[in-house]
Amino acid sequence: MFARRFRCSSLALLALAVVPQVIGAQDFKKDVIYQIITDRFFDGDATNNDPPQSRGMYDPTKTNWQAYWGGDLKGIQDKLPYLHAMGVTAIWISPPVDNSNKPWMGPDGKPVPYLFAPYHGYGARDFTRIEEHFGDAKNDWVAFDNMVAAAHRLGIKIVVDFSPNDTNLIGTGEHGAVYDNEKLLGTYDNDTKHLYHHNGLLTDWTDPWQIQYCNVFGLADLDHDNPIVDSYIKKSITQFQDHGVDAFRIDAVKHIEWGWVYSLADTVHRHKPAYIFAEWFQDGLNDKFYPDAVKFSNHSAIPLIDYPLGLATRAAFAYNSSFALVQKTLDREDKDFADPNGLITFVDNHDIPRLLSINNNRHLLDEATAFVLTARGIPVVYYGDEHYEHNDTNKGHDPYTRPWMSSFAEDTVGFRLVQNLTALRRSNDALAYGTMTPRSVAQDTYVFERRFANDVILVAINKNETTAARLTGIASSLPAGSYADELGGLLQGVSLDVERGAAPEENLIASITLPPHSVSVWQHRTNANGPAVGALEPTEGEPGATVVLNGVRFGTRPGSVAFGSAGAKVVSWTDSQVTVRAPAAHDGTSTVRLTDDTGKATDAGAFTLHRARLIPVTFTVTNAPVSKNSAALYLTGDTAELAHEQTDTKLAPGPFLCPQAPTCFLDISVPAGATVHFHYFTVDKFGAVDWQEKEPHAYTVPAQGTGKALASIH
Ligand code: NOJ
């Protein structure tokens, strides 16, 4: 009885609580994101520390690192002025959804002698309600909405860590059970609706099927091709948008059915303006799945958290490796990724030891932070780095990378550094939108230039602790003249003289001496002629989708925007922002071009037009000509999502997964209601096509839900 009444009242609340987003939610390039583990940040509401439905998971002594410590959404709200003063314009909060109410006995089902609670949020039980330790015992949205509204009043965007791959641990706690607004949806142990995969624990991290279809760390793996799961997850993520959320960090995307995630991004983009990025953990450029990650990101329109660059950055600053690895990583990624400036960059995060736990040198952390805040990509500052927080137990590995935030003082070098560079990012577009050109790369020194239109920023780092470095003959597109360090010597930076060179792009720094452990930042801004686009968002959608172009000098009188040869309807036009509707044109990827009203034109980036909203379909073939380790199976067909008949493996969906060859399958998101024609092909280990079907198959995609296209090869 109580439950029924409560459900009604929470629905009423829901209907009222539509929180507006920050204007421009779809473009994060000018933002700096601050990552918070909500439980470890600040306790703003002592009444939710030990809530009745999950009593006993709170440790007021903060000595059990696997227990809740009291941080909550009100705590974040209370500290917004601190974050605002630091200049961060977005905060990424750990998963706020209702998590398992029962403690887990430990990973892998092994009992451990201490309490093990989902304080981090990666153990969902109900994606439609807010965790009681972070909000209130009713699991309602009040604290969340208050926090979002307060952040938005300060112009701070909210990024929610959304973890749709799995629910909570099996074999302990709540045994993976999942609820929809309090109502039990299903349980792992009695899975009558087939909501979960039942393929056991992920053990082989090199097997793409296991990676997507087995239980990661023993968490109950959801089957997103089940229409109940598909609609539940999509309903939950759009519910967050209705509560004002501006962006999502999709957790563990490597472990979700890759092809399904395209339809998730499409659902979000269709619902309201939002930025989506995803965590695809990689060991660097040589990671076995690096090519898959690139393909996924480029085709799903989901930028990734840039692990290769993050690890190279940490290698340089924490392990004293050369800047050459950083540059090599940038060279490769900037070639591979469609929009390198949209990738998410970092020094530290909650899954890896803090840099100070590896190398306890504050200079190096500040230098690494300055690098990330000035290099290409959207930077994340992990909470507490500005205060040099670290706990080195077990070399700082999880959970010791998530300490309690011990101070909110605003006078550390780290705080002032972030403050300084967030302001620079807002005033000089080279940081957000610019190219990144290496001007000098060595073991300990690195000089690079960012440039967007006529905005230039030059950065010089010397990470050597004791020895100054004299560099000579460095080219720069800074105009001839003298430049003061924009950081005002905060990191021992120096001023700079530039001489006129052979060409405007090639002026000359005859000589510069970089002090030990220093970062210098120099900038220049002028007004040039002609438009320049820095961001086009989103980069996928259907005819009629709202697309925003941000940049400079578009003029105040409307010009035109074309997607390939198709003109787009202009909705609004200002000097720095143009909004258009994607035209009704042939599906596929085309270059968007903006022309101002004087006829000056510029490219804005690529956009992929779908015929209709995307529906995830599992394509299955029962007699594939593959054996487990030989040829790889792909598919091509007559829509943009099926690569328009091309057999380039960078474009065509595949390789298929064949855990039980010759039956192979793959999730692909395709346009709702369309009849698609497709045929299979195989490639050898060099990527050359060695067989393809002659006659195509036809399949009509359902108008909603999920689909299954079953075929045997002719
Ligand atoms: C990746 C998250 O970042 C990590 O903290 C979490 O434990 C796993 N995904 C499982 O959700």
Q: Residue 366 burial by CB count (10 A; 0-12/13-18/19+): exposed, middle or buried?
A: buried
> pLDDT digits over 55-78, tens only?
999 999 999 999 999 999 999 999
Question: Of the given ranges (108-112, 336-340, 598-602), which has the lowest mean pLDDT?
Answer: 108-112
Q: Has residue 2 got a pLDDT over 90?
A: no
| Residue 92 near ligand 1, beta carbon < 6 Å | no
> pLDDT digits over 44-58, tens only?
999 999 999 999 999
How far is ligand 1, taken at its centre, from the CA of residue 171, in Å? 19
Positive or negative, the CA dihedral 413, 418, 424, 427 is negative
> pLDDT digits over 555-598, tens only?
999 999 999 999 999 999 999 999 999 999 999 999 999 999 99
First to last CA, the chain: 58
Please state the φ and ψ torsions of residue 690, each to the nearest 5 degrees. Answer: -115, -5
Q: Has residue 15 got a pLDDT over 60?
A: no
Considering the chain, what percentage of its residues have pLDDT values greater than 70?
Answer: 95
Q: Residue 315 burial by CB count (10 A; 0-12/13-18/19+): exposed, middle or buried?
A: middle
Tokens of 313: 């950055």
Quote the pLDDT of residue 573.
97
Task: Determine the Cα–Cα distance for residues 351 and 347; give it in Å rounded to an integer.
Answer: 12
Does the 614-712 domain belong in CATH 2.60.40.10? yes
Question: 651 Cβ partners below 8 Å, 6+ apart?
Answer: 299, 643
> pLDDT digits over 398-441, tens only?
999 999 999 999 999 999 999 999 999 999 999 999 999 999 99
Question: 248 Cβ partners below 8 Å, 6+ apart?
Answer: 159, 160, 161, 162, 237, 240, 268, 274, 275, 276, 277
Contact 41, 56 (CB under 8 A): no
| Residue 122 near ligand 1, beta carbon < 6 Å | yes
Quote the pLDDT of residue 687.
85
Strand 532-537 relative to strand 546-552, pairing = antiparallel
Q: Has residue 198 got a pLDDT over 80?
A: yes
Strand 707-711 relative to strand 689-692, pairing = unpaired
How far is ligand 1, taken at its centre, from the CA of residue 239, in Å? 22
Q: How many helices (H) and strands (E) does the chain have?
A: 14, 38
Question: 82 Cβ partners below 8 Å, 6+ apart?
Answer: 408, 410
Candidates 1.10.10.60, 3.30.70.141, 3.30.590.10, 2.60.40.10; correct CATH number of 532-609?
2.60.40.10
> pLDDT digits over 631-656, tens only?
899 999 999 999 999 999 999 999 99
Q: Look up the CATH number of domain 4-427.
A: 3.20.20.80
Quote the pLDDT of residue 103.
82
pLDDT confidence band for 377 (50 / 70 / 90): very high
DSSP class per residue in 38-82: GGGT----GGGSS-GGGTT-B-TT---TTSB-S--HHHHHHTHHH
Indicate the average pLDDT of the chain. 94
> pLDDT digits over 537-564, tens only?
999 999 999 999 999 999 999 999 999 9
Quote the pLDDT of residue 12.
35
> pLDDT digits over 247-257, tens only?
999 999 999 99
- Tell me which residue has tokens 């990624």: 333
Contact 531, 551 (CB under 8 A): yes
Quote the pLDDT of residue 18.
60
| Residue 350 near ligand 1, beta carbon < 6 Å | yes
| Ligand 1 site-directed mutation target among 35, 351, 397, most atoms within 8 Å of CB | 351
Candidates 2.60.40.1180, 2.30.42.10, 3.55.10.10, 2.40.128.630; correct CATH number of 435-524?
2.60.40.1180
| Residue 251 near ligand 1, beta carbon < 6 Å | yes
Contact 141, 149 (CB under 8 A): no
Quote the pLDDT of residue 497.
98
Do 614-712 and 532-609 have the same topology in CATH? yes
Three-state SS for 326? helix
Considering the chain, what percentage of its residues have pLDDT values greater than 90?
Answer: 90
> pLDDT digits over 212-256, tens only?
999 999 999 999 999 999 999 999 999 999 999 999 999 999 999
Quote the pLDDT of residue 637.
98
What amino acid occupies position 221?
A: D
Other C-beta atoms closer than 10 Å to the C-beta of 500 total 12
Other C-beta atoms closer than 10 Å to the C-beta of 682 total 21
pLDDT confidence band for 16 (50 / 70 / 90): very low
pLDDT confidence band for 22 (50 / 70 / 90): low
Where do the domains of the chain lie? Answer: 4-427, 435-524, 532-609, 614-712
pLDDT confidence band for 23 (50 / 70 / 90): low
Q: Residue count of the chain, please give it.
A: 714
CA-based nearest residue to 228, from 196, 258, 267: 196
| Ligand 1 site-directed mutation target among 40, 94, 119, 122, most atoms within 8 Å of CB | 122
Contact 686, 598 (CB under 8 A): no
Task: Determine the Cα–Cα distance for residues 177 and 188; give it in Å rounded to an integer.
Answer: 6
pTM: 0.95
Strand 632-637 relative to strand 675-683, pairing = antiparallel
Question: 551 Cβ partners below 8 Å, 6+ apart?
Answer: 429, 433, 453, 531, 532, 533, 534, 535, 576, 594, 602, 604
| Residue 252 near ligand 1, beta carbon < 6 Å | yes
Q: Which residues on adjacent β-strands are paired with residue 657?
A: 665
